[in-house]
A and B are shown apart, each in its own frame.
Chain A
């Protein structure tokens, strides 16, 4: 089985580094692609033949907002059913609601603690990357 592939759309370089470090510490290899721009991510996802197993999107993006990106992806047939998980630092209800409104499959607040981060990523990837274990994904 090929490695699981994850597309991360986040403009914050600190977070991207953090995520990359976290992915690297997962017990199974994950093929990660980072975009700091919504448009570029959109173009990549709609044009690339190979679809990632999971797309992780930050909301607060320059240019195209995370919600706009999700809406655009859902509008394209090729990406309409792509698993999209929001990973952001905002926990406001307004943001949660708007994310689900445009078609996000899951919403997670970025954990502050590294261990928490690793656990989150593992669960997300396992769940959406069909490496489903008996343990259900934890939304919190």
Chain B
């Protein structure tokens, strides 16, 4: 690339070099400049800025954000390219050559600030001449001023930053050279440079002046309206605030804004408020408060207690009162802690009434009181809705009042004075003023607290700094200061002693003045400033008031002839405090005095307010020189040349006088010169010192500003990052807790509040102190471990609301990698956990079902290998469930099984039946038998694609059961068909479901003709007879009935109907069996006839027996009676005895016969009867026989039944009597037992008598049948027994063996059946 042809110099040589100089406040305009600069201008940008030599710069990275151009830190020999930005490195000088940069070490001369901008600019001017532009941005000092002149003279374009520069002195200095083409805002500069590049002449347009002068009008307006003189404030501060209001009020410039504030009171008020900006907070700057609380407050309280006085605190510039209340709280806390009762007075003052009103109300928002510790908040504040109000106790401590520290009388005897961040706004003179008042206000040893950036400045001697960086001072002594800057501070209204005012009497003063006029010599009284205080006597005639401004200086009022000597005399008197006398002065003027003496006497003023001097003027009336010369001296001026002859003499005299005057003048001049020189030398010396210091400071200051700007930008970036991080943390909704190495809480995210109850106050506290609602006791141990090992730990835990959370602890690493704490993340895994548990449960359930299923289950993977078989499969097919996984079925199963099981499946697979869901029955040989498997093979997609599964149910038992059923069916059929009855099974619609051979034979049909048809259809007229009336079979009920004789054949059928439950609850099936019972019916009816006849005959026989026995008794009785009478009359005879014996036997036979007959005739009187009692009665009846035979009767307890007790008594009598009668040789022994079986009572009578042959057992119950011929019985007893038992519906029988006794058994129903044979 050719030198000098920069027009197409993109990425090559630049068309133009833009050299920029910046110092303090220069970063912002640089950023603005590059924001507005296109990246392809073809220019090279060289930036020379003041940088701290000790501080690494990050300017390049900051600027890189504002431009697409490469931003490079210049190096020596670096090639100069278009569209690049080059930065001056620290401690270096940068020179721009034609093609490259030259960077060298900075040459620093002691006491001379470096001028890197000038160096840079001058090199640009030398090499690039008219193709250069120089820009001076914000900064202090005059660096760039020389450079910009050089650029301008070489034909380059020059720009300085306009009033937007935070530091105007550098651009201002450059501007004052007159070598500046444009004064512009940074954003406008690139365009101007571009214009210059296109047309150098057009770009040079003069700029308007700035208008700093307007500010004083605004300050005056403020002063008028609010009585607060902002001239005492730093002009920079005031200007910035005013500029801010200019911008916000929409005014075009300062002048417009000045008009606005002069016409609009509200804007003025807004500006006023803005200027009195009160930034304050409770316990602002914690270290200060800690210091106060720890040492200062206790000291103050202790002193006050020793002296038993109130504690006085002055909070100047208290703004909204936060600080005043903060002090009050600390003091009250201290008093409470030590249990001291002392009054506390806190004077809280501010110049702004509105702030005081707010402070006085004592109502603060929740965000405001956040800095107040909870304990104090609860103690000293009451909640009002969302706000908090200071309580009465706190409020009473504080007195608020309007007060201007520069103007109003200070409070006195103050223990603690706080004035924080007011002084920084004040100019140094005002600062001094305020500090003097503060000093005055404090008692000795009183404490003063200033803002962290404020200093006690010139009062170093008066205060002891005890707070270190906290800026707390102790007053060491009382010193009186004199106000020396009345121009900057208004007169402080000092309290005037009442005595002074009362003692002066106006009339007396008047009298004094009269006397002085009369007798005092002409004199003037002046103060140390030569201001005329009083004129005595005729001295007034010497005064003349010049036109114009009123003068107070006596010398200005006197005639020239007196002025010079008097100045010298006064000067001497005031400096030495000794009187000075001047003689022989010739007073000239309008009212000439002639020769006079002047005596200047020092006067001490009563109020001690400084020296004064009395000037006494005495005319020389009796002096010789005066006497001789007075007239002559005066005359020429009065009379003119008429007395010219005396001129020479007069001239001599005049010369003498003049020489004298000259002598005096010389003397005083010499004095003055000496004094001036002395002070001048001092001034020069100190000026040199100051200049050197100042330049050093300026340099440092600029460097600091540069660093500061970089820091600010970095902080902004960090704030952005922090905000990003906060938003990120908030948006992830992951509760995160940051702990430091000591496990103190450093920070936490809002989402954490869902799991852990944390409050902002908890920050800084050890996590162990906080009651976490996490059920995670190992948290601290885990966190410690994380710090030590650097490895993350995860824990699952339950939180209070029964949710599951994952707590992940990871090390918190700082740059450099060391671990400075732990990051605890809390993640809600409740739903995950629940889903997992649910899935586990489902899986376990599914597997359990599968595993324990009675069916065979298996699943094959895509390669046809087992992935799952269940227990049943393993058991049935003889494989090990664990071994088969991964194997092919052919490897695990016997060939027969595999063949049987998988031939079918294989063919299906071959056929590509992926979605087969088919059921079929497989017969698999197994354990010597055959398994019948109802098999279902199906395809499904698992994670790897289509696979096969199978399920098979072993139905071998089912099949064998089916075969059994079939066999039973055949048997049943066989039985059914051979039953000699006709059998049908019909449903509720009387359709034939089943029919047997006999029925078919009768019909002459086959089963197929009949099945499914209704019986009415099949059987015609016979149907009604067999199956009941036409209609539903549901009318049929279980039972047996006889049909009416058939009309044709006369046949009678017994039809048996059995209802069976059908397939469902509502339906039934009915078995109908019809048997031809014609023969049976006929025999039965014949039998019934016979029975009736038999009964009738029986009754007749009974009647006959009764009558016979009854009627036969009377003649027998007569035979007997008269036989006896015959014996009585004729004496005993053998024949008569035989007659009577025969009669006796016959009578007994009749009795028995009668008894037997009676037992059948009498009706049964059945009542509930205790058989035990009945047996007892029977035994009682037989007591004579029992006693006679020595019989033993063992009877069990007998039950209660319903029977005729009279008949049973007879029954038992007969049985017992029978046993006694046939007891044989031994005494009779009868055992009676009984038992109840259902509704039948069994009673056994067992004896040990002679017994009988068993084949005679039935005969014993025949009437008049006696087995033992020799017995005395009539043979009727057991017959009666049978009759009684049978009439009660029971049975009686006997078992015996000869010689071994007999057993009579009765079976009697507990209740005799109705209609039991009774006839």
Taking a contact as CB atoms under 8 Å apart, the answer to whether A21 and B1125 are in contact is: yes
Question: What are the interface flags for A84-100 relative to B under an 8 Å C-beta threshold, 1 for contact and 0 otherwise?
Answer: 00000110111000000
Say yes or no: is A117 at the interface (Cβ < 8 Å to chain B).
Answer: yes
Say yes or no: is B1162 at the interface (Cβ < 8 Å to chain A).
Answer: yes
Residues of A within 8 A of B1120 (CB): 112-114
Taking a contact as CB atoms under 8 Å apart, the answer to whether A112 and B1114 are in contact is: no
Interface centre among A60, A89, A90 (most CB of B within 10 A): A89
A87 to B1122: give the CA distance in the assembly, Å.
19
Separation in Å of the B528 CB from the closest CB of chain A? Answer: 173
A14 to B1117: give the CA distance in the assembly, Å.
8
A115 to B1115: give the CA distance in the assembly, Å.
17
Interface centre among A14, A21, A90 (most CB of B within 10 A): A14
A92 to B1124: give the CA distance in the assembly, Å.
27
Say yes or no: is A76 at the interface (Cβ < 8 Å to chain B).
Answer: no
Say yes or no: is B1113 at the interface (Cβ < 8 Å to chain A).
Answer: yes
Contact with A114, one of B1110, B1114, B1125, B1162 (Cβ below 8 angstroms) = B1125
Say yes or no: is B1158 at the interface (Cβ < 8 Å to chain A).
Answer: yes
* Given A21-B1125, A114-B1124, A14:B1162 Cβ within 8 A: no
A60 to B1113: give the CA distance in the assembly, Å.
13
Contact with A92, one of B1118, B1121, B1162 (Cβ below 8 angstroms) = B1162
Say yes or no: is B1108 at the interface (Cβ < 8 Å to chain A).
Answer: no
Say yes or no: is A110 at the interface (Cβ < 8 Å to chain B).
Answer: yes
Taking a contact as CB atoms under 8 Å apart, the answer to whether A18 and B1110 are in contact is: no
Taking a contact as CB atoms under 8 Å apart, the answer to whether A89 and B1114 are in contact is: yes
Say yes or no: is B1206 at the interface (Cβ < 8 Å to chain A).
Answer: yes
Taking a contact as CB atoms under 8 Å apart, the answer to whether A117 and B1121 are in contact is: yes
Say yes or no: is A12 at the interface (Cβ < 8 Å to chain B).
Answer: yes
Taking a contact as CB atoms under 8 Å apart, the answer to whether B1113 and A18 are in contact is: no
Interface range, A side: 10 to 19
Separation in Å of the A98 CB from the closest CB of chain B? Answer: 12
Taking a contact as CB atoms under 8 Å apart, the answer to whether B1124 and A14 are in contact is: no
Say yes or no: is A15 at the interface (Cβ < 8 Å to chain B).
Answer: yes
* Given A21-B1125, A114-B1125, A90:B1110 Cβ within 8 A: yes
Contact with B1162, one of A94, A115, A117 (Cβ below 8 angstroms) = A94
Taking a contact as CB atoms under 8 Å apart, the answer to whether B1118 and A17 are in contact is: yes
Taking a contact as CB atoms under 8 Å apart, the answer to whether B1162 and A112 are in contact is: no
Say yes or no: is B1147 at the interface (Cβ < 8 Å to chain A).
Answer: yes
Separation in Å of the A51 CB from the closest CB of chain B? Answer: 28
* Given A112-B1120, A112-B1147, A14:B1110 Cβ within 8 A: no
CB under 8 Å from chain A, chain B span 1134-1172: 1147, 1158, 1162
Taking a contact as CB atoms under 8 Å apart, the answer to whether A110 and B1206 are in contact is: no
A14 to B1143: give the CA distance in the assembly, Å.
15
Taking a contact as CB atoms under 8 Å apart, the answer to whether A112 and B1117 are in contact is: yes
A18 to B1115: give the CA distance in the assembly, Å.
10
A84 to B1110: give the CA distance in the assembly, Å.
22
Contact with B1113, one of A21, A89, A92, A117 (Cβ below 8 angstroms) = A89
* Given A112-B1147, A114-B1124, A114-B1125, A89:B1162 Cβ within 8 A: no
Residues of B within 8 A of A94 (CB): 1162
Residues of B within 8 A of A92 (CB): 1158, 1162
Separation in Å of the A72 CB from the closest CB of chain B? Answer: 23
A117 to B1124: give the CA distance in the assembly, Å.
12
A60 to B1118: give the CA distance in the assembly, Å.
17
Residues of A within 8 A of B1118 (CB): 14-15, 17-18
* Given A89-B1114, A92-B1162, A18:B1206 Cβ within 8 A: no
A94 to B1117: give the CA distance in the assembly, Å.
23
CB under 8 Å from chain A, chain B span 1102-1126: 1110, 1113-1118, 1120-1122, 1124-1125
A14 to B1121: give the CA distance in the assembly, Å.
10
A-B contact count (CB 8 A): 43
Taking a contact as CB atoms under 8 Å apart, the answer to whether A93 and B1114 are in contact is: no
Taking a contact as CB atoms under 8 Å apart, the answer to whether A93 and B1110 are in contact is: no
Residues of B within 8 A of A14 (CB): 1114-1115, 1117-1118
Residues of A within 8 A of B1206 (CB): 93
* Given A15-B1118, A92-B1162, A60:B1124 Cβ within 8 A: no
Taking a contact as CB atoms under 8 Å apart, the answer to whether A21 and B1110 are in contact is: no
| Closest residue of A by beta carbon distance from B1116 | A112
| Closest residue of A by beta carbon distance from B1114 | A12
Residues of B within 8 A of A93 (CB): 1162, 1206
* Given A93-B1206, A112-B1147, A21:B1121 Cβ within 8 A: yes
Taking a contact as CB atoms under 8 Å apart, the answer to whether B1110 and A60 are in contact is: yes
Separation in Å of the A42 CB from the closest CB of chain B? Answer: 22
Taking a contact as CB atoms under 8 Å apart, the answer to whether A89 and B1117 are in contact is: yes
Separation in Å of the B1110 CB from the closest CB of chain A? Answer: 6
| Closest residue of A by beta carbon distance from B1120 | A112
Taking a contact as CB atoms under 8 Å apart, the answer to whether A114 and B1113 are in contact is: no
A112 to B1114: give the CA distance in the assembly, Å.
9
Residues of B within 8 A of A117 (CB): 1121
Taking a contact as CB atoms under 8 Å apart, the answer to whether A113 and B1110 are in contact is: no
Interface centre among B1118, B1125, B1147, B1206 (most CB of A within 10 A): B1118
A90 to B1124: give the CA distance in the assembly, Å.
22
| Closest residue of A by beta carbon distance from B1112 | A89
| Closest residue of A by beta carbon distance from B1123 | A114
A12 to B1117: give the CA distance in the assembly, Å.
11
Question: What are the interface flags for A51-75 relative to B under an 8 Å C-beta threshold, 1 for contact and 0 otherwise?
Answer: 0000000001000000000000000
Taking a contact as CB atoms under 8 Å apart, the answer to whether B1121 and A18 are in contact is: yes
A17 to B1122: give the CA distance in the assembly, Å.
9
A94 to B1162: give the CA distance in the assembly, Å.
8
Question: What are the interface flags for B416-442 relative to A under an 8 Å C-beta threshold, 1 for contact and 0 otherwise?
Answer: 000000000000000000000000000
| Closest residue of A by beta carbon distance from B1115 | A14
Taking a contact as CB atoms under 8 Å apart, the answer to whether A18 and B1162 are in contact is: no
| Closest residue of B by beta carbon distance from A25 | B1125
CB under 8 Å from chain A, chain B span 74-125: none
CB under 8 Å from chain B, chain A span 1-47: 12, 14-15, 17-18, 21
A38 to B1120: give the CA distance in the assembly, Å.
27
A47 to B1120: give the CA distance in the assembly, Å.
37
Residues of A within 8 A of B1116 (CB): 112
Residues of B within 8 A of A89 (CB): 1110, 1113-1114, 1117
| Closest residue of B by beta carbon distance from A116 | B1121
Separation in Å of the A84 CB from the closest CB of chain B? Answer: 21
Separation in Å of the A22 CB from the closest CB of chain B? Answer: 8
A112 to B1113: give the CA distance in the assembly, Å.
9
Question: What are the interface flags for B891-931 relative to A under an 8 Å C-beta threshold, 1 for contact and 0 otherwise?
Answer: 00000000000000000000000000000000000000000
Taking a contact as CB atoms under 8 Å apart, the answer to whether B1114 and A15 are in contact is: yes
A92 to B1160: give the CA distance in the assembly, Å.
13
Interface centre among B1116, B1117, B1162 (most CB of A within 10 A): B1117
Taking a contact as CB atoms under 8 Å apart, the answer to whether B1158 and A18 are in contact is: no
A60 to B1106: give the CA distance in the assembly, Å.
12
A113 to B1158: give the CA distance in the assembly, Å.
23
Residues of B within 8 A of A17 (CB): 1118, 1122
Separation in Å of the A23 CB from the closest CB of chain B? Answer: 13
Residues of B within 8 A of A60 (CB): 1110
Residues of B within 8 A of A21 (CB): 1121-1122, 1125
A17 to B1110: give the CA distance in the assembly, Å.
18
Taking a contact as CB atoms under 8 Å apart, the answer to whether B1162 and A113 are in contact is: no
A115 to B1140: give the CA distance in the assembly, Å.
14
Question: What are the interface flags for A104-127 relative to B under an 8 Å C-beta threshold, 1 for contact and 0 otherwise?
Answer: 000000101111010000000000
Across the A-B interface, give the 9 residue pairs with the lowest CB-CB distance, nearest first: A14-B1118, A12-B1114, A114-B1121, A114-B1124, A18-B1121, A89-B1113, A14-B1114, A14-B1115, A15-B1114
Show 26 residue pairs from A and B whose CB-CB distance is below 8 angstroms, ordered by the A residue. A12-B1114, A14-B1114, A14-B1115, A14-B1117, A14-B1118, A15-B1114, A15-B1117, A15-B1118, A18-B1121, A18-B1122, A21-B1121, A21-B1125, A89-B1110, A89-B1113, A89-B1114, A89-B1117, A90-B1110, A92-B1158, A94-B1162, A112-B1117, A112-B1147, A113-B1121, A114-B1120, A114-B1121, A114-B1124, A117-B1121
Knowing that A15-B1117, A112-B1120 touch, tell me 5 more A-B residue pairs with CB under 8 angstroms: A18-B1117, A18-B1121, A21-B1122, A89-B1114, A93-B1206
